[in-house]
Structure 1
Amino acid sequence: MKIGLGSDNNAFKLKTIIKEHLEDLGIEVKDFGCHSEDAVDYPDVAFEVAEAVSKEDVDRGILLCGTGIGVCVAANKYPGIRAALAHDEYSAERAQLSNNAQILTMGAQIVGPEVAKKVVSAYVNAQWAEGSKRKVDKIIDREKEFMSQNYKDAVTKGC
């Protein structure tokens, strides 16, 4: 498995810990930054990881910011991406099992390093078994509908 990992500056320290944890689990990591505590806009990193997942350059992604909310919202704007916010092991596991979420998001100001490691482990160890395929397919179908030309025209006009 190859994970795309990214954060803004608010979660730089936690990203470093998560990267080491993933590598300790034998998981290959592609680090999309940030690479210091200098200010970085979370949408920029979220879009890069979402694109890498979409293009299958990585198998899944993990995104971190202060709350996990910003990167989750940003990643979910990328067509075809299902990002899920999880701060506990059960939610992280269900993100994959029930929703086939390709990206996990967390907040560095919400969870500490030990909890974050457990959440990441639960997420990477869960495998989509198509148990909720009918529901996930509804989400995919609605997204395709919204991406139709008529919807694109409405958005362009500001409706």
Structure 2
Amino acid sequence: MKIGLGSDHNAFEMKESLSEYIKELGHEVVDYGCKSCVEVDYPEVAFEVAVDINDNKIDRGVLVCGTGIGVAIAAGKVPGIRAALCHDTYSAERAQKSNNAQVLTMGAKVIGIELAKQVVKTYLESEFPGGNSARKVQQIIDKEQEFLKGASV
């Protein structure tokens, strides 16, 4: 898979470690930044990853910031994107198997790199099976479309 990877300055070191790890797992990594520990705002990075998922330029995204919350909120603002904040392997598996989440988010100030690697591995190895979960995901997609039609631009 082609994985979009991005962070803010709070998670730069984790992003760099995850980049190498994801490559070791056999995936291609597209680095969306940031490029150093110099302060950078996370929304633009999250938006770019989410848009590129919608445009089929990448298959999934992994975003990290201090808590993982900000990048989850930002990525989730892009229509069609389901971003899941996960700090354990069970949640990472369910993000994919129950919710078909295209983006995994984590907090570098919340979990360590070894656990983050296991969370990423679990997420990337999990597939959406459809079934009862497909109906629920479709309800989310339908409601999002309903909200978008009613929105004034």
TM-score w.r.t. length of structure 2 = 0.98
Q: Paired residue for 1:152? A: 151
Q: Paired residue for 1:134? A: 135
Deviations along 1:86-119, one digit per CA (max 9) or x if unpaired, are 0000000100000000000000000100000000
Q: Report the Cα distance in structure 1 between the residues aligned to 2:72 and 2:29, rounded to whole angstroms.
A: 19
Q: Paired residue for 2:9? A: 9
Q: Report the Cα distance in structure 2 between the residues aligned to 1:120 and 1:134, rounded to whole angstroms.
A: 26
Q: Report the Cα distance in structure 2 between the residues aligned to 1:99 and 1:67, rounded to whole angstroms.
A: 21
Percentage identity across paired residues of the two chains = 59
Q: Report the Cα distance in structure 1 between the residues aligned to 2:93 and 2:16, rounded to whole angstroms.
A: 22
Q: Between Structure 1 and Structure 2, how many residues are aligned? A: 152
Q: Report the Cα distance in structure 1 between the residues aligned to 2:52 and 2:11, rounded to whole angstroms.
A: 20
Classify the secondary structure of the residue corresponding to 1:147. helix
Q: Paired residue for 2:90? A: 90
Taking the TM superposition and a 5 Å limit, the aligned residue runs for 1:1-159 are: 1-131=1-131, 132-148=133-149, 151-153=150-152
Classify the secondary structure of the residue corresponding to 1:14. helix
Structure 1 position 152, deviation (Å): 1.7
Structure 1 position 80, deviation (Å): 0.3
Classify the secondary structure of the residue corresponding to 1:6. strand
Q: Report the Cα distance in structure 1 between the residues aligned to 2:54 and 2:83, rounded to whole angstroms.
A: 12
Q: Report the Cα distance in structure 1 between the residues aligned to 2:94 and 2:21, rounded to whole angstroms.
A: 21
The RMSD of aligned alpha carbons is 0.7
Q: Report the Cα distance in structure 2 between the residues aligned to 1:139 and 1:21, rounded to whole angstroms.
A: 32
Question: Which one has the largest radius of gyration?
Answer: 1
- The residue identity in structure 2 corresponding to 1:140 is I
Deviations along 1:60-96, one digit per CA (max 9) or x if unpaired, are 0000000000000000000000000000000001000
Unaligned runs of 5+ in 2: none
Q: Report the Cα distance in structure 2 between the residues aligned to 1:23 and 1:133, rounded to whole angstroms.
A: 30
